[in-house]
């Protein structure tokens, strides 16, 4: 028991301070493998970014198998304007199209990390909402896993329409980030596409990603089983 408490304490200390660049690179590579296993970044889709100081953000490359991304494969980008400061040594790697959206969420919401999911459940959640501009989640204990929420929360996740290129999502993402009714959301769903999920740091984005995907799965399963009707 003493050993478990020690490990827990060390994790809490790690999560309470800004991680250095190399540690952040390693965690991004590790989490991409985990997200791939969970089916969130398969087929070279999806991605992740994380800051390591007040100026820079590390972003995974595009059009590559995310489970094979190494720490040295990441781009260093200015978090304020999206300018590439340092590229990987491999010239074949290209910056993710999500980069501008990642930086937008970081700047607008004060996020320290953002992941982009191509999960089936995030696509089906948008389908389930039909013509609504949000996906409502309530009555689930797992809501406690979202910062500031509890199991009595009515948690609304905004939904936007997909575009041909991800950079074309910027305007609508910006609108939803400023909507007061979505102020407690750490996710934006994109119809027929997936989701953007963020947190204050890379550890929180991991937790939020796991929580949101569980919540999407739970609401969809309840609807399918007829045990609880979804009410927007």
Parallel, antiparallel, or unpaired for β 154-160 and 187-190? parallel
Quote the radius of gyration of the chain (alpha carbons, Å): 17
- Exactly one of 67, 72, 141, 204 is catalytic; name it: 141
**Cα-flanking dihedrals φ and ψ of residue 131, to 5°?**
-85, 0
- Residue 156 CB neighbours (<10 A): 20
Active-site annotation holds for 21: no
Closest Cα to residue 66, out of 89, 84, 48, 91?
48
Element (H, E) at 50: strand 47-51
CB 159 within 8 A of CB 185: no
In 3D space, the residue among 20, 219, 38, 226 whose CA is nearest the CA of residue 115 turns out to be 38
- The residues assigned a catalytic role are 141
């Amino acid at each position: 028991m003493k050993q478990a408490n020690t490990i827990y304490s060390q994790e809490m200390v790690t999560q309470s301070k800004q991680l250095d660049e190399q540690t952040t690179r390693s965690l991004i590579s590790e989490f991409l493998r985990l997200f791939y296993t969970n089916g969130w970044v398969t087929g070279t889709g999806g991605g992740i970014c994380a800051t390591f100081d007040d100026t820079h953000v590390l972003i995974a490359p595009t059009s590559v198998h995310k489970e094979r991304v190494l720490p040295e494969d990441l781009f260093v980008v200015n978090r304020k304007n999206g300018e590439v400061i340092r590229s990987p040594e491999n010239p074949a790697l290209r910056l993710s199209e999500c980069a501008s959206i990642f930086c937008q969420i970081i700047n607008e919401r004060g996020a320290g990390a953002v992941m982009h999911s191509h999960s089936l459940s995030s696509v089906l959640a948008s389908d389930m909402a039909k013509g609504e501009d949000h996906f409502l989640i309530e009555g689930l204990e797992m809501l406690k896993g979202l910062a500031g929420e509890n199991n009595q929360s009515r948690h609304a996740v905004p939904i936007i329409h997909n575009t041909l290129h991800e950079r074309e999502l910027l305007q609508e993402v910006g609108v939803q980030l400023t909507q007061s009714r979505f102020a407690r959301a750490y996710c934006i769903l994109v119809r027929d596409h997936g989701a953007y999920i963020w947190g204050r740091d890379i550890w929180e984005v991991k937790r939020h990603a796991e929580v949101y995907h569980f919540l999407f799965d739970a609401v969809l399963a309840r609807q399918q089983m007829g045990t609880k009707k979804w009410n927007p």
